[in-house]
Structure 1
Amino acid sequence: MMKLLKNTATPIRPAFQHGFSLLELMVALVIGLVVSLAIFSVISVSEARKRNTTGANDMNQNGAFAMYQLDQAIRNAGTGFSQQYTLTFGCAINARRGSTVVIPPATLPSPFDSLKANIGGVFRMAPVIISHDPSGSQLSDTLMVMAGSAGYGEMPIESTSAPTVSSTAQLHLLNTLSFSAGQQLLVADRPDAASLPACLIETVDASYSGDPGAGVLPLGGAFYTAGSDKTLASYSPDSVAINLGASPSFKLYGVGAGNTLAGFDLLNGDATKDDLIGDGVVELHAIYGIDTANNGIIKWTAPTGAYAASALLDGSINAGKNIASIKAIRIGLITRSAVEDKKAVPQSQTFSMFADTAIPYTKTLGAAEQTFRYRVLEATIPLRNALVLN
């Protein structure tokens, strides 16, 4: 008989699969979410702090740059014509480019569109004029700053006879030593007992060769068109010519839309738009430092009353003396960060400037304004050309 062989082979068992259970997956998912939330929270806080720090730095830099621009303009104010303030301070300015009257301008861009009415409709020569908000609603002030660019132009050149106005225009002067082609000059006449005659911005014609011995100065160029500006014919043999240099600056400064420090060039600007000077400026305010006794003692005075823009620019002899007594300008800027926080920033809700004077200015933030960061900058800027006037 045959023996049956015993099967000794190992039986095949099914292989077990290794992995995470549903419970383990849920626990891992919860841990991952908690860690992710923590990481995103740290990143969010870090980003917010970085944004606030960057915004504060930008705000400080914008404010410093804006103040620097104003400082440079105001320090140079009156260059070229201050020493002859009895002839120039308060004279009505007439300037035309071709057939277009440039000063007084027909229109001005925002934020200067109300300036013309505030100063009485006439633009007059002065180193610095502060146009204060007449409504008193804590709006920003506007500055009008004028300066020539020719240091040797402080001496007026006397006329020998009345100007010639025909197909060409000429000034008859004692000498033309300080003039060259393309330079701009101020033609002024002698004042009477009460007021100053108008003054003209003119340009030395490009044909002028610069002969120092010549007594005739031809006019033409950007701010004169032969035959169209007949006001020159009214000037007397007592008139004078004052050299303003090749690029005089007749600028306006104010706070424009979007919290910007805006500027406008009265001589060369586009009446439809202003120029960006600096960002982040919410308000601009200014006061005068006057010295009526000429003893070196400054009294801080608001741009109101006798020192309101309309009073200083009324064309009178007395107003010219008041302009000459202005020896310094004190500027205050309020700057604001560009980035808004979700909640009110922990800071004072009230800001003050000129606190050490009798005419402080205070701004109180509204609820919508309290989510931004603010800085107040102040500077006292001397008028170098006015400090030597008696």
Structure 2
Amino acid sequence: MKKSFKCALPPLSPHFQRGLSLIELMVTLVIGLVVSLAIFSVMSVSEARKRNTTGANDMNQNGAFALYQLDQAIRSAGTGFSQQYTLTFGCVINASNSGKAVIPPATLPSPFSSLKANIGGAFRMAPVIISQDPNGKLSDNLIVMSGSAGYGEMPIESTSVPTTSPSAQLHLLNTLSFAAGGGQQLLMAERSGDSTGSLPACLVESVDNAYAGPPSTGVLPLGGKFYTAGADKTLASYSSNSVVLNLGFNPSFQLYGVGSNNTLVGFDLLSGSAAGTDLIADGVVEMHAIYGVDKANNGTLAWTAPTGGYAASALLDGSVNAGKLIASIKAIRIGMITRSAVEDKNTVSSATLPAMFDGTAFSYARTLSAAEQKFRYRVLDATIPLRNALALSN
């Protein structure tokens, strides 16, 4: 007979049955909270640095893009009409859309609301004009004009006076530079034998869409955007001594300035007062400009402020002498201040920013308030040549 043995374990002692005490739980919670706070602190600092870095990068990109846009516009300023500057620089621009005046528009949006008064009330042909705000605002306004035809800017002579009835037509030596289908815009200027007085007005017109191509008769029908039959009485005032310059399909008559919320904005003069401003770049706080003038035509630039004889109202007074001064402008120097969108907790910028236009008599450095010093800034300074003006002899 086999005997079975049972091994009974002794009962657990109280030492092995004990769990965590309250003190141990509290220590564990404190350690966990400290670790969590450390992690969140690191993440907060990292996120703040990331936002500042991103904001600074955005500021730099916005400034570079703004300068790029201005560079493209200013370099091409005067295309289509500069070579005939004795006929065009300073002539009043007449343009109508369905009989309603387009240039000058009835009202201009901010930041150009005081521009018309500052230039004497009339917009005139010129590659680039700098207008300082008479109300003491920080930024200047720029008026930049250019055509887009890409031709040699040779004026097309008229053979007789334009006709308005039964349809608007120009009578020219040839119409070879105008493409079939219409839509191209032109600038009509009157030749004047007066070398000391004011220039006759210029007229912006549009080729009729029914235009079928260069005919042997040299007749160019007008219509479309800038002409309504019977409404534009200015056309009949031009003589057989007038000339026509092709401005292409998309001439640019632009205004540039710094608007609200630190934005660089543009306004198209050919679109009329109904159109608002176009946003070009964010983060632009301030913009200034000066002229690079070469009166002697020897390749040496003299930096000149847009004041006195080079004030906007003086350059756009319509005189022949003012046209020569406009022709002596060979470059524009742009100074721009950009700012980050993110406000820092601490002061991150000095009270005085680096100067723009350094090395000239017009060096300018902006002073910041205590609140403004919590943002990051960059000062941009660029010289932009006027390609079409460099070949002119004033």
Contact 2:127–2:146 (Cα < 8 Å) also in 1: yes
Residue 106 (str. 1) matches residue 109 (str. 2): no
Q: 1:13 to 1:362 in 2, by over 3 A?
A: closer
Distance in 2, matches of 1:379 and 1:271, equals 33
Q: 1:83 to 1:210 in 2, by over 3 A?
A: same
Uncovered stretches (5+) of structure 2, i.e. residues with no partner = 1-7
Distance in 2, matches of 1:52 and 1:286, equals 29
User: Residue type of the partner of 2:51?
Assistant: R
Q: What's the secondary structure of 2:271's corresponding residue?
A: coil
* Match runs of 1:288-299 below 5 Å: 288-299=291-302
Distance in 2, matches of 1:166 and 1:49, equals 70
Give the aligned partner of residue 3 of structure 2: none
* Match runs of 1:24-43 below 5 Å: 24-43=24-43
Residue-by-residue CA offset, 1:247-268 (whole Å, 9 max, x unaligned): 1011111111111110111112
User: Residue type of the partner of 2:220?
Assistant: L
Q: 1:271 to 1:378 in 2, by over 3 A?
A: farther
* Match runs of 1:1-390 below 5 Å: 17-137=17-137, 139-152=138-151, 154-180=153-179, 181-191=182-192, 192=194, 193-268=196-271, 271-347=274-350, 349-390=352-393
User: Residue type of the partner of 2:166?
Assistant: S
Q: What is the aligned residue count? A: 381
TM-score (norm 2): 0.93
Contact 2:286–2:337 (Cα < 8 Å) also in 1: yes
Q: Which moves more between the two structures, 63-72 or 200-209?
A: 200-209
Uncovered stretches (5+) of structure 1, i.e. residues with no partner = 1-8
Distance in 2, matches of 1:99 and 1:212, equals 28
Q: CA deviation at 1:104?
A: 0.8
Residue-by-residue CA offset, 1:141-174 (whole Å, 9 max, x unaligned): 1111000011215011111111112231111111
Residue-by-residue CA offset, 1:3-25 (whole Å, 9 max, x unaligned): xxxxxx99989977532211111
Residue-by-residue CA offset, 1:193-240 (whole Å, 9 max, x unaligned): 310111110011112111242221111011111110001111111111
User: Residue type of the partner of 1:47?
Assistant: E
Distance in 2, matches of 1:10 and 1:45, equals 58
Distance in 1, matches of 2:45 and 2:214, equals 72
Distance in 1, matches of 2:232 and 2:18, equals 101
Distance in 2, matches of 1:328 and 1:11, equals 102
Q: 1:94 to 1:10 in 2, by over 3 A?
A: closer
Distance in 2, matches of 1:101 and 1:144, equals 19
Residue-by-residue CA offset, 1:44-90 (whole Å, 9 max, x unaligned): 11111111111111111110011000000000000000000000000
Q: 1:273 to 1:52 in 2, by over 3 A?
A: same
Q: What's the secondary structure of 1:222's corresponding residue?
A: helix
Distance in 2, matches of 1:340 and 1:272, equals 33
Q: Which moves more between the two structures, 189-198 or 318-327?
A: 189-198
Q: CA deviation at 1:346?
A: 4.5
TM-score (norm 1): 0.94
Q: What's the secondary structure of 1:300's corresponding residue?
A: strand
Q: CA deviation at 1:114?
A: 1.2
Q: Which moves more between the two structures, 269-278 or 79-88?
A: 269-278
Give the aligned partner of residue 4 of structure 1: none
Q: CA deviation at 1:102?
A: 1.0
Distance in 2, matches of 1:13 and 1:389, equals 108
Q: What's the secondary structure of 2:224's corresponding residue?
A: coil
Contact 2:106–2:273 (Cα < 8 Å) also in 1: no
Distance in 2, matches of 1:39 and 1:10, equals 48
Distance in 1, matches of 2:356 and 2:230, equals 52
Q: What's the secondary structure of 1:267's corresponding residue?
A: helix
Q: What's the secondary structure of 1:237's corresponding residue?
A: coil
Q: Over the residues paired in the alignment, what is the CA RMSD in angstroms?
A: 1.8
Residue-by-residue CA offset, 1:81-105 (whole Å, 9 max, x unaligned): 0000000000000111112211111
Distance in 1, matches of 2:48 and 2:10, equals 67
Contact 2:207–2:220 (Cα < 8 Å) also in 1: yes
Q: What's the secondary structure of 2:63's corresponding residue?
A: helix
Q: Which moves more between the two structures, 86-95 or 33-42?
A: 33-42
Tell me the percent identity. 75
Q: 1:258 to 1:346 in 2, by over 3 A?
A: closer
Distance in 2, matches of 1:65 and 1:11, equals 84
Q: Which moves more between the two structures, 218-227 or 165-174?
A: 165-174
User: Residue type of the partner of 1:225?
Assistant: T
Contact 2:333–2:382 (Cα < 8 Å) also in 1: yes
